[in-house]
Amino acid sequence: MIKETLAQIEELGGRALAAIKESADLDTVNDLRVKILGKKGELTAVLKTMGRLSAEERPVIGARANEVREAVEKAISEQMKKLKLLHYESRIRKEAIDVTLPGKRAASGKPHPMSIVLGDLKDIFRSMGYTVVTGPEIEETRYVFDMLNTHEGHPARDESDTFYVSDDVILRTQTSSVQIRTMLENKPPIAVISPGRVFRRDEVDATHSPVFNQCEALVVDKGITFADLKGTLETFMKRLYGSSVKLRFRPHHFPYTEPSAEVDLSCFKCGGSGCSMCKNEGWIEMLGAGVVHPQVLRNCGIDPEIYSGFAFGVGLERITMMRYEIDDMRHLYENDIRFLKQF
Ligand code: DAH
């Protein structure tokens, strides 16, 4: 009887120790503890049979059973320690941060080429004492046309050129309307530029868009002449395109200036000898300008006997395209990141 029980205890102990060593997680170890040492466990079950043993046999079995129990308990606590350590080690490996890896740079945007040019333009004119003003894009015809000497029947008012909102409200076709608003609200001396969007019923192509941008300039003071206009435009263009460029003034007609001129720039790429940039002309048409018509001053309550002024209007897309040698206006509107990244 005692041999049998001892053998049972040995077999049980050996099996338990092996199972504990092999267990791969804490739950398995815990289950084994219950299965072997628990109230209904296998070792407990063996000990319950001790009643059938003699008084001499019992202490022998009891002692061996205790040894096995201690061995199993020790194996359990060691295995648990080992498994916990393995668990932490794998977590440390998994959650490790390699501080030597290069960081991920956050992608940042940058100004649109038109914004860069507009910024430069504002800097140039502010440095000459001008103020930057703006006016509405949806505008009354009297500010865009009538008060600028452009009366009913003038081709510029034609519906084929202009987006009409109603008979006397339009999407402005030029920033020149801001000249009128400025002169109505301010007494001379006046020196302003006014950048902004304008609208014309044009089809989209490489050089046209129904929405584009202009910048208007207006100076009104005592004794202002065409010479002031020339000097100002020369300073403006040289600062934008480099000191070697020359200007050419061609007679032209605008209803709101007298005299009026179209102003060309000597090609900054070929220096005037002719290239693809200037279409072999040596000159590039840049803007319209002139001496403010006396009637326009009068319309705004300014006495042309005392004051005179000059004005000009330039296309922002045009000067941007020239500056960066962009051959198609649509690039400026399509927001293709490959294009925009270049500036
Ligand atoms: N408004 C003209 C245009 O849209 C440009 C212009 C010409 C503006 C002469 C002016 C000027 O102020 O005096 O083409």
Q: Note the pLDDT tens digit of each residue in 97-115.
A: 888 989 888 888 889 999 9
Is 120 inside a domain boundary? yes
Q: Decide which of 36, 60, 95 is a domain's last residue.
A: 95
- Determine, yes or no, domain membership for 100: no
Q: Range of 263's domain?
A: 113-340
pLDDT at 93: 92
Is 103 a member of any domain?
no
- Residue at 106 is within a domain: no
For residue 107, being part of any structural domain is answered with no
104: left (phi over 0), alpha (psi -120 to 50) or beta: beta
Say how many Å lie between the CA of residue 285 and the centre of ligand 1.
13
Shared-domain flag, residues 234 and 88: no
Atom of ligand 1 nearest to the CA of 288: 7
Same domain, 82 and 121: no
Q: Within a domain: residue 133?
A: yes
Residue 40, φ and ψ in degrees, nearest 5: -105, 20
What's the gap in Å between 100 CA and the centre of ligand 1?
60
**Pairing between β-strand 190-199 and β-strand 131-132 as defined by DSSP bridges:** parallel
Verify whether ligand 1 is closer than 6 Å to residue 145 (CB atom): no
Q: Indicate if 46 and 166 belong to the same structural domain.
A: no
Q: For residue 143, how far is its CA from the centre of ligand 1 (angstroms)?
A: 14
Q: Whose CA is nearest to atom 14 of ligand 1?
A: 288
Last residue of a domain, one of 68, 95, 122: 95
Question: What's the gap in Å between 216 CA and the centre of ligand 1?
Answer: 7
pLDDT reported for residue 50: 80
Could you check whether the bond before residue 259 is cis, i.e. omega within 30 degrees of 0?
yes
Q: Which domain-ending residue is among 42, 65, 95?
A: 95
Q: Is residue 105 part of a domain?
A: no
The pLDDT assigned to 192 comes to 98
Same domain, yes or no, for 209 and 310?
A: yes
Q: Are residue 129 and residue 261 in the same domain, yes or no?
A: yes
My answer on whether 190 and 244 are in the same domain is yes
Report which DSSP code applies to 206. Answer: S
For the Cβ of 290 lying below 6 angstroms from any atom of ligand 1, the answer is yes
Among 292, 309, 289, which residue's Cα sits nearest to residue 237?
Answer: 289
* Residues 152 and 18 grouped into a single domain: no
> The domain spanning residue 161 has which CATH number?
3.30.930.10
Residues 307, 63: Cα–Cα separation, whole Å? 123
Is the C-beta atom of 174 inside 6 A of ligand 1? yes
148 and 249 assigned to the same domain: yes
Q: Give the pLDDT of the chain (343 residues) as one tens digit per residue.
A: 688 888 889 999 999 999 999 999 999 999 999 999 888 988 888 888 888 888 888 888 888 888 999 999 999 999 999 999 999 999 999 999 888 989 888 888 889 999 999 999 999 999 999 999 999 999 999 999 999 999 999 998 988 899 999 999 999 999 999 999 999 999 999 999 999 999 999 999 998 999 999 999 999 999 999 999 999 999 999 999 999 999 999 999 999 999 999 999 998 888 889 888 888 999 999 999 999 999 999 999 999 999 999 999 999 999 999 999 998 999 999 999 999 999 9
Q: Are 329 and 208 in contact (CB under 8 A)?
A: yes
Count of structural domains, the chain: 2
Asked if 144 and 265 sit in the same domain, the reply is: yes
Asked whether residue 45 falls in the same domain as residue 164, the answer is no
Pair (191, 313) in one structural domain? yes
Would residue 66 count as lying in a domain? yes
- Whether the predicted model's global pTM rises above the 0.85 cut: no
Neighbours of 70 (CB within 10 A): 10
pLDDT score for 77: 94
Q: Are residues 188 and 148 in the same domain?
A: yes
Q: How far apart are CA 147 and CA 295, in angstroms?
A: 8
Tell me, in angstroms, the distance from the centre of ligand 1 to residue 288's CA: 5
